[in-house]
Structure 1
């Protein structure tokens, strides 16, 4: 499960970090302090993706578990 979780974390983290950085760049009030908020948004996206990846990996393993 750990391998699948790490793989899902890499994918989900990239997506979430990209979404949050896009929000920072497109909102004018956040864009003014972009050099401060862009790294925070990137790291925040990767940290938010950890529990999401764990949940997704668990659901994938449950859905693909053979029925005994």
Structure 2
């Protein structure tokens, strides 16, 4: 399950980081610091989301 979670995190983490950057830019946080904080926060939120998705995929497979 760890391998699936890490593979999913590549896609989920980068998607959430991109969404967070767009939200930061639309909200007016257009400095480098604001953009980087948003990207890192989106990427970190991807860890529990990908773990949850991997757990659900494994539980539905059996």
| Cα RMSD, aligned residues only | 0.9
The structure with the larger Rg is 1
Partner of 1:8: 8
Runs of 4+ in 1 over 3 A off after TM superposition: none
Q: What CA distance in whole angstroms lies between the structure 1 residues aligned with 2:38 and 2:15?
A: 12
State the Cα distance separating 1:12 from its structure 2 match: 0.8
Matched pairs, number: 62
TM-score (norm 1): 0.83
Q: What CA distance in whole angstroms lies between the structure 1 residues aligned with 2:5 and 2:32?
A: 31
Partner of 1:44: 41
State the Cα distance separating 1:26 from its structure 2 match: 1.5
Q: Which runs of 5 or more structure 2 residues have no equivalent in the other structure?
A: none
- 2:55 matches 1:58: yes
Q: Which runs of 5 or more structure 1 residues have no equivalent in the other structure?
A: none
